[in-house]
Amino acid sequence: MAAPLKRVLMRSARSAMRGADRTKWHYGPGFDPSKAASQHAAFAELVAAAGARVEWLDDRDDGLADSVFTHDPSLMTGHGAIILSMGKALRRPEPSLHEAAYERMGIPILGRVEAPGTVEGGDCVWVDGGTLAVGRGLRTNEAGIRQLADMLLPHGIEVLGFDLPLWHGEEACLHLMSVISPLAEDLALVYSPLLPAAFYQLLKARGIRLVEGDADEFSASSGLSLNVLPTAPHQVIAVAGFPRTKAAMEKAGCMVQTFEADALCIACEGGPTCLTRPILRQ
Ligand X SMILES: NC(=O)NCCC[C@H](N)C(=O)O
Contact residues toward ligand X (CB under 6 A) are: 66, 69, 71-72, 88, 91, 122, 173, 175, 177-178, 268-270, 274
Residue 89 CB, shortest distance to ligand X, in Å, is 11
CA 224 to chain CA mean position, Å: 11
Residue 207 CB, shortest distance to ligand X, in Å, is 26
Nearest to 239 by CA among 222, 262, 210, 213: 262
**Cα–Cα distance between 84 and 112 in angstroms, integer?**
6
Give the 3-state DSSP-derived string for the chain, with helices as H, strands as E and coil as C.
CCCCEEEEEECCHHHHCCCCCHHHHCCCCCCCHHHHHHHHHHHHHHHHHCCCEEEECCCCCCCCHHHHCCCCCEEEECCEEEECECCCHHHCCHHHHHHHHHHHHCCCEEEECCCCCCECHHHEEEEECCEEEEEECCCCCHHHHHHHHHHHHHHCCEEEEEECCCCCCCCCCCCHHHCEEEEECCEEEECHHHCCHHHHHHHHHCCCEEEECCHHHHHHCCCHHHCCEEEECCEEEEECCCHHHHHHHHHCCCEEEEECCHHHHHHHCCCCCCCCEEEEEC
* C-beta of 117 vs 270, nearer to ligand X: 270
* C-beta of 246 vs 277, nearer to ligand X: 277
* C-beta of 31 vs 102, nearer to ligand X: 31
Contact 120, 72 (CB under 8 A): yes
Residue 116 CB, shortest distance to ligand X, in Å, is 19
* C-beta of 104 vs 273, nearer to ligand X: 273
Q: What is the chain's Cα-based Rg? A: 17
Residue 177 CB, shortest distance to ligand X, in Å, is 5
* C-beta of 84 vs 152, nearer to ligand X: 84
* C-beta of 40 vs 71, nearer to ligand X: 71
Residue 154 CB, shortest distance to ligand X, in Å, is 27
Report the residue closest to ligand X, judged by CB: 122
Residue 282 CB, shortest distance to ligand X, in Å, is 22
Residue 22 CB, shortest distance to ligand X, in Å, is 11
* C-beta of 71 vs 136, nearer to ligand X: 71
